[in-house]
A = this chain, B = another copy of it.
């Protein structure tokens, strides 16, 4: 608990974390091997246990880091008072898809680990302080003002997230059975979605 409070990350520790990140994301917790992480970092297994006591602790270290850098960073703007709902939709979709494009395997990794060991992992970002009250009340306000049609804010939010994230998680399925896309096709498709998703949503909820 108190360990490593003031100690800064050394070079080796950073290298290990980066190697662990790559291997865990590629293989998942169960599929990852300490040996593979050691190889990736060009060190030996013993050193892994020197820096992090166990596989589980090493995993938790990278998982916390991943969660915070990935989820929290991008979801802040939807609470920003400076944008209309429509603008937030456009900005969020563009930003969120771009973020995932840089780390396309992150969503699948996070969601799978969360499903596999919810008790262990869910607590991590339970205290992340993600508040959506303002966004939801903003939607209700714009409904009252006649700017957008009556719509359930929760469903709207989940719809938006679903359409951005799911294609990456379902990529192997999309590329084979659903649409028979090549890697290049898929990238183009996701690039198009930065435009079509906001269009699709706004078409649905805008007052005529």
Majority DSSP secondary structure for residues of A touching B: helix
- In the assembled complex, how far is the CB of residue A65 from the closest CB belonging to chain B, in whole angstroms? 17
Q: Which of A114, A115, A125, A203 has the most CB of B within 10 A?
A: A115
Chain B residues with Cβ under 8 A from A125's Cβ?
176-177
Q: Which of B30, B130, B196 contacts A31 (CB 8 A)?
A: B30
Given that A167-B162, A208-B208 are known contacts, is A177 also in contact with B128, CB under 8 Å in the complex? Answer: yes
By beta carbon, the residue of chain B nearest A159 is B163
Contacts of A163 in B (CB 8 A): 158-159, 162-163
Given A152-B192, A169-B169, A177 and B115 contact (CB-CB distance below 8 Å): no
Asked if B105 contacts A196 (CB within 8 A), the reply is: no
Q: Point out the residues of chain B lying under 8 angstroms from A154, CB to CB.
A: 179, 189
- Cα distance A176–B132 when bound, in Å? 13
Residue of A130, A162, A189, A193 contacting most chain B CB atoms (<10 Å): A162
- Distance (Å) between the CB of A69 and the closest chain B CB? 15
Q: Compute how far the CA of A25 lies from the CA of B152 in the bound complex, rounded to whole angstroms.
A: 33
In the complex the two chains form, is B159's CB within 8 Å of A197's CB? yes
CB-CB under 8 A from A203, the residues of chain B are 149, 203-205
A157 neighbours in B (Cβ, 8 Å): 178
Q: In whole angstroms, how far apart are the Cα atoms of A167 and B132 in the complex? A: 18
Task: Indicate whether A99 reaches chain B with its CB closer than 8 angstroms.
Answer: no
